[in-house]
């Protein structure tokens, strides 16, 4: 890859010149000279830089002198100089509203299947929902969805958006959703068996979500396959704690939640 052996000799003290200092700007691709880990800069503070390789794996490295290679040459990464303060963004990627005071809640609502779905939506879209005055409530499954919709009483200015797990052709969930026909109700869903799968495996440092055989409770099966010695509630806290922005979630969930927010906030 490089001409000669870049690590031959005393590479930290080149014979001529000095080792250049390079700002660790986002997306700069460098290699850690000691471990050989190569990746793009995704974060940098005064003490360390985070690199992400092409497989989505992330590692933290101290900003030591002459610790990195840039295009085969030894460099010292330094924290970039602060530039003009960019508008702050929320976890969903939207522009954050400074000094936000939540609006009075709309009559329109978003329903999700369970408490885990609600927690994930709150973590990523909570700011946006408070800006719009939208409340998210959770159901305990969707078996009684038609009755729940009837009880809600949708109408002009009172819309209902519903997020359903495992909404794929031929599933039980798809048959239930088809029974909801009100134009003031939008039922959408993602293809995952459980909302846990909407978190990208790379965020949890696992290669993929395990396949769980039929007849085995899905969450317990996943925990066993991953070798986690945790109860489901503890496993969920680990998963949710690893999520920080919309980039940590699969697009199949992102698009559906954005669709629901647009639907329930659309002017009548």
pLDDT of residue 87: 63
pTM value is: 0.64
Q: Which of 131, 116, 97 is nearest to 265 (CA)?
A: 131
Residues 30 and 130 in one domain: no
Tell how strand 160-164 and strand 185-189 pair up: parallel
Residues 57 and 143 in one domain: no
pLDDT of residue 90: 77
Query: Burial letters for 63-95: b for 16+ Cβ neighbours within 10 Å, e otherwise?
Result: beebbbbeeeebbbbeeeeeeeeeeeebbbeee
Provide DSSP, 78-116: EPPPP-SPPPPB-TTSSBP-TT--PPPPPS-EEEESSHH
Residues 67 and 179 in one domain: no
Residues 197 and 259 in one domain: yes
The dihedrals phi and psi of 49, each to the nearest 5 degrees, come to: -125, 145
Residues 67 and 118 in one domain: no
pLDDT of residue 11: 46
Residues 252 and 148 in one domain: yes
- Per-residue pLDDT at 248 exceeds 90: yes
pLDDT of residue 93: 74
pLDDT single digits (tens) 167-211: 999 989 999 999 999 999 999 999 999 999 999 999 999 999 999
Residue 100 lies in a domain: no
Q: Which of 192, 135, 187 is nearest to 162 (CA)?
A: 187
Query: Burial letters for 183-213: b for 16+ Cβ neighbours within 10 Å, e otherwise?
Result: ebbbbbbbebbbbbbbbbebbbeeeebeebe
Highest mean pLDDT among 7-21, 46-60, 174-188: 174-188
Helix (H, G, I), strand (E, B) or coil at 186: strand
Helix (H, G, I), strand (E, B) or coil at 135: strand
Q: Which of 245, 235, 167, 166 is nearest to 206 (CA)?
A: 235
Residues 179 and 54 in one domain: no
**What is the distance between the alpha carbons of residues 80 and 103, in angstroms, rounded to a whole number?**
38
Residue 52: domain span: 21-78
pLDDT single digits (tens) 232-246: 999 999 999 999 999
Tell how strand 160-164 and strand 135-138 pair up: unpaired
**What is the distance between the alpha carbons of residues 33 and 56, in angstroms, rounded to a whole number?**
20
Residue 147 lies in a domain: yes
pLDDT single digits (tens) 58-72: 899 999 999 999 988
The residues, any chain, with a CB within 8 Å of residue 244's CB and separated by 6 or more, are 91
Q: How many domains does the chain have?
A: 2
Q: Which of 173, 225, 183, 188 is nearest to 204 (CA)?
A: 225
Residues 173 and 72 in one domain: no
């Amino acid at each position: 890859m490089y001409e000669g052996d870049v690590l031959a000799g005393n590479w930290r003290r080149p014979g001529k010149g000095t080792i250049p200092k390079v700002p660790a700007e986002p997306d700069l691709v460098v290699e850690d000279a000691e471990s050989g880990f190569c990746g793009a800069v995704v974060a940098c503070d005064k003490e360390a830089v985070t690199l992400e390789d092409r497989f989505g794996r992330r590692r933290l490295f101290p900003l030591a002198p002459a610790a990195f290679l840039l295009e085969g040459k030894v460099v010292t990464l330094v924290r970039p100089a602060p530039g003009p303060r960019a508008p702050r963004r929320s976890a969903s990627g939207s522009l954050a509203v400074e000094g936000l005071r939540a609006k009075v809640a709309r009559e329109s609502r978003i329903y999700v299947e369970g408490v885990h779905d609600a927690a994930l939506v709150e973590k990523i879209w909570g700011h946006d929902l408070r800006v719009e005055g939208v409340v998210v409530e959770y159901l305990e499954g969707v078996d009684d969805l038609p009755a729940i919709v009837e009880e809600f009483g949708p109408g002009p200015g009172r819309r209902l958006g519903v997020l359903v797990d495992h909404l794929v052709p031929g599933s039980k969930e798809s048959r239930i959703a088809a029974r909801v026909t009100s134009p003031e109700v939008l039922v959408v869903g993602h293809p995952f068996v459980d909302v846990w799968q909407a978190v990208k495996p790379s965020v949890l440092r696992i290669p993929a979500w395990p396949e769980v055989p039929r007849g085995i409770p899905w969450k317990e099966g996943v925990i066993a396959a991953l070798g986690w010695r945790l109860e489901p509630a503890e496993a969920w806290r680990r998963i949710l704690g690893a999520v920080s922005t919309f980039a940590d979630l699969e697009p199949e969930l992102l698009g559906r939640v954005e669709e629901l927010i647009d639907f329930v906030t659309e002017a009548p």
